[in-house]
Amino acid sequence: MNVMANRPRRLESYVGGQWVAGAREGVPLLDASTGAPVAFIDSTGVDFKASLAYGREKGGAALRRLSFHERAAMLKALGQALMERKEEFYALSTATGATRADSWVDIEGGVGTLLSYASKGRRELPNTRVLLDGDVEQLSKDGTFAAQHILTPLLGVAVHINAFNFPCWGMLEKLAPTLLAGVPAIVKPASQTAYLTELMVRRIVETGILPDGALQLVCGSVGDLLDHVEGQDVVTFTGSAATGRRLKTHKAIVENSVRFTMEADSLNAAVLGLDAAPGTEEFDLFVKEVAREMTVKAGQKCTAIRRVIAPRAYSEALIESLGARLAKTAIGNPADEAVRMGPLASLDQREEVRARIRDLSADAEIVTGDPDNPSVQSGDAEAGAFLNPVLLYCDKPGAAHAIHDVEAFGPVSTVMPYDTAEEAVDLARRGKGSLVASVFTNDPGFAEEVVLGLAPFHGRVMIGNRVSAKSSTGHGSPLPGLVHGGPGRAGGGEELGGMRGVKHYMQRTAIQGAPTMLSAVTGRWLPGAEARAGGEHPFRKSLAELKIGDQLITASRTVTLDDIEHFANFTGDTFYAHMDEEAAKANPFFDG
């Protein structure tokens, strides 16, 4: 099916193993650059209670029959299949206002996350369905009673409610650890860009790689979906703090103690070091990074730099350099290859950002950019949701409030000066918790003081300097192996982080009993469990014949002093504790 052939079209939800159109025509979704209709969205009539039941009974059961390695292989196959279809996603992504570079982060970054979890699953997880957590806890002197913590998949469904800014990555970065854990998902993308998510889900379904019920999609309102969540379900949310708080206190979520993860507003900060004066490599890197974070995805990133904290003595030079760089940013229709920054996702979003800029103006003055008169290289400045990058300056940030409380979710940042490292940390902390902060310095002492001061208020802190400049992934890039989330106003949630993200969808349970019983449950031999020696050599048995507890007992021999000294000389490890009897005895850690 060519979903591009008859635009605008009605989006459909994929529930209960079939595509379902809403009962109404739906709300029109407009091209961010041209204002032309792209699709209509509506989920009226979808049976959300039945979709949850279908996921639990059909999808969950099928996923739990697979081992971690089988699920990882499934993710790899899915990632490869989506990569083959990437150009179709790129073509539709321009309607969201994304340039090719913006779309790369969303599309190939999302698929890359699938592939990364596939690789990590094979390398870091066992080929079993049960994950051990920690070492055996001995609970008796004779070894007949012990305990082992295990992790098993939840028996519910993960409901992922995503934001509009990353319609592909936002789905895939949550889906990868969920499926690897063995839990099915229902994805609810933000309506404005749901047409791109729907296209990707259609292509996923067509591959036939996922078991029935492993993935469902809701295009439109979630209706009464959350009324039916239970204690084995998980709900994740990415979006505004106000909406997140409302969902978090939903009656069914509270009464059933449903796991809830939120990623909300985040006033991320970038700190320029006291050593990073104009003319240094760190100053130039800082200017480049701030400008990039303001313009990539038109600043519509939860990790974008909102507060630019710089030494007071360097502020004037910083504003001048940033202004010059931002002025060179070509703004327009992302279908134009010369364009470097596209529009915001919608006209409503543009008005929202303009309103927030007015709020910020209570504390700061605009020093670069006119939010009310966009200058575009291509496209219609009014029909499209275009907005120039806007840089503000607050001379007394310690006494201000709006700049630490208001997030303009667009190409907007505020420069604020500081005089001491302690003051820089204090300003960053006033964001009340953020996803990420960055520190640009070549001074290890400054890095230590500021990073340790920022860490309790951030999920991630990046240090930038001349050494890592070429290899750095940058301030705003969440990575599969690193935690994505933040405390306080950032939502208090945590995603990704390698296998940490997988464990969010599993239950930790302490299993107590005799070692043989624990081995039977965990699929691992534990000290004190039954063992079988003799008979055919274990290496000659097939995997079907090899059983937990099979062992090989070799002949014994005495290790002599000559053996020890030969080994030391042979390996070059002539540490004195191995070679010098007198010196070894004189050391309180060794007996000889």
Q: Which residues are catalytic?
A: 263, 302
Q: Using omega within 30 degrees of 0 as the cis cutoff, is the peptide bond preceding 8 cis?
A: yes
Element (H, E) at 231: none
The HSE-up count of residue 471 (CA atoms within 13 Å, CB side) is 3
> Comparing C-alpha atoms, which of 302, 360, 57, 59 is closest to residue 184?
59
Which residues have a Cβ under 8 Å from the Cβ of 257 and sit 6 or more positions away? Answer: 231
> Comparing C-alpha atoms, which of 456, 451, 478 is closest to residue 271?
451
- Structural contact between residues 382 and 142, judged by C-beta atoms closer than 8 angstroms: no
Q: Both tokens of residue 140? A: 């008796």
Torsion, Cα of 529, 534, 539, 542 (10° steps): -80
The HSE-up count of residue 452 (CA atoms within 13 Å, CB side) is 6
- The per-residue DSSP string of 152-176 comes to EE-SS-EEEE--SS-TTHHHHHHHH
Amino acid identity, position 357: I
Q: Both tokens of residue 104? A: 């790369």
Which residue spans within 313-353 are E strands per DSSP? none
- Structural contact between residues 131 and 522, judged by C-beta atoms closer than 8 angstroms: no
- Structural contact between residues 459 and 494, judged by C-beta atoms closer than 8 angstroms: yes
Amino acid identity, position 383: A
First to last CA, the chain: 77
CA dist., res. 409 & res. 411, Å (int): 7
Quote the radius of gyration of the chain (alpha carbons, Å).
28
Per-residue 3-state assignment (H helix, E strand, C coil) for 20-58? EECCCCCEEEECCCCCCEEEEECCCCCCHHHHHHHHHHH
